[in-house]
Amino acid sequence: MDDLRTEELDGFLQPLPDGQVTPEHRAWMNEQIDRTLAKKAQGEMTYTSLDQVRRTFDVDAS
């Protein structure tokens, strides 16, 4: 398994300081946000309040 350890992988496994994210992860997050906003703009998304979800699933979150 030592052959799987590369500097690139080692760097990937290291935490970034102060809550930073890698440029690749930022690009992925931005893509997800763009897709969600596009669905919202096209009327493909709905909003359900937390109270309604709790009633639907009979959850007592108190």
**What tens digit of pLDDT does each residue of 2-48 get?**
555 555 666 666 777 887 888 888 899 999 999 999 999 999 988 89
Residue 29 domain-assigned?
Answer: yes
Domain count, the chain: 1
Predicted pLDDT at 34: 95
Residue 10 domain-assigned?
Answer: no
Domain that holds residue 42: 22-62
How deeply is 42 buried, as exposed, middle or buried, from its count of CB atoms within 10 A (0-12, 13-18, 19+)?
exposed
Residue 3 domain-assigned?
Answer: no
Confidence of residue 1 (pLDDT cuts 50, 70, 90): very low
When comparing pLDDT for 7 and 52, which is higher?
A: 52
Residue 36 domain-assigned?
Answer: yes
pTM score: 0.52
CA distance 56 to 46: 16
Amino acid identity of residue 44, one-letter, is E
